[in-house]
Structure 1
């Protein structure tokens, strides 16, 4: 009888450990997060439009853009801090030609948000750029995006994470980006992978589940 009771207790402990392990794995898989995707959907530089020979067009040194922010997670929200956009042109994109700031906002589950605006560009060699596109070449602008994001899971938020990405946008003699599809902005930093909940949140939830199972 004693051996039978011991075996039963052992099986019960093993079952409990196995169930707890599966629960922890399920929690990790279901609560992990992924950073938003950022892309340039539209990009227009009127001064490089060869079909418009007016003085107004040649002197229009603005850039119009449409940036898309995509939260692909179906059960987690994203809270953006202020988003800083920087535009570059020239050799090695060494100096900025324009900046723009997007106020921070919250983005719901599996949602995408577009931000469109116009900025005045300074320091671009417009005559040389126009000559290049007129001769069949393309010129490239670089768009950089920098912000910090935190993720809303259930009723609480994770810690903030840096989101710093950039991408090159080729423009042709229409004064618009060559690619019809959106240009994804990417990071040169090592892949951040999936962000996980802060350790204390995981420990708290796991502890509650253990107590419940007991």
Structure 2
């Protein structure tokens, strides 16, 4: 109460000047925060949903099928930024050390809108997988570990006005395959969350900075 009376005694010009000082101090901070939100981005999240190698499925009793069936998704968690992908190289490895690839393919460059998910599924041939060694490992340990990796570069479209420079993006996951030939997958490899700029602005405007007596 006393503070309010002191402000009134000093006159309306003092109150206006005080609020202008607050605005001059806080607005640059808000601009800095906006720039930071535009510079730093969360990478897309990769989720492997299915991996199946028929030659390792003992119920099929076949060793001639060298195919690998897959299904995965890429999710853009950005609320306001779209993503430009360069061609994505997808590689399958027969060990977690990623020193021996057994199959690969390339996804052409594409554009992903904000807060969206893109799914890919298909079949590739694996001519480098040692099926007999893999079956022996599964018989001994109950499973064999494979790895699926992605590598590309991405650019972010900031509110539709301009694009950032390219940023390297790599992701992947180790999966265990047993004698069914199928991997037990389905969990997100990377779960991302972001405080949106709208929320920041609302919090900023909810203060008494713009309150003029």
Q: Name the TM-score class by shorter chain.
A: 0.7 to 0.9
> Are residues 82 and 91 of structure 1, via their aligned partners in 2, closer, same or farther at CA, if it must alter by over 3 Å?
closer
- Equivalences, count: 182
Please list the CA deviations of residues 69-126 of structure 1 after superposition, one character each: whole Å capped at 9, or x if unmatched.
Answer: 0001122111111000111114833121111100111111110001112111122220
Largest Rg, 1 or 2: 2
**CA separation in 2, counterparts of 1:185 and 1:7?**
52
- Equivalents in 1 of 2:70, 2:190: separation in Å? 14
Selected match of 1:167 from 169, 173, 177:
173
Displacement of 1:28 in angstroms is 3.6
Query: Does 2:137 correspond to 1:132?
Result: yes
Partner of 2:87: 82
- Are positions 1:102 and 2:107 aligned together? yes
Which ranges of structure 2 fall in alignment gaps of 5 or more residues?
Answer: 1-9, 194-213
Matched, 1:121 2:129: no
> Which segments of 5 or more consecutive residues in structure 1 lack a partner in the other structure?
187-192, 195-214
CA RMSD of aligned residues (A): 2.9
Q: Does 1:40 align with 2:48?
A: yes
Taking a change above 3 Å as real, the CA distance of residues 90 and 71 of structure 1, as seen in their structure-2 partners, is closer
Q: Name the TM-score, length of structure 1 as normaliser.
A: 0.73
2:205 paired residue number? none
Equivalent pair of 2:96/2:174 in contact (CA under 8 Å): no
Provide the TM-score with structure 2 as the length reference.
Answer: 0.74
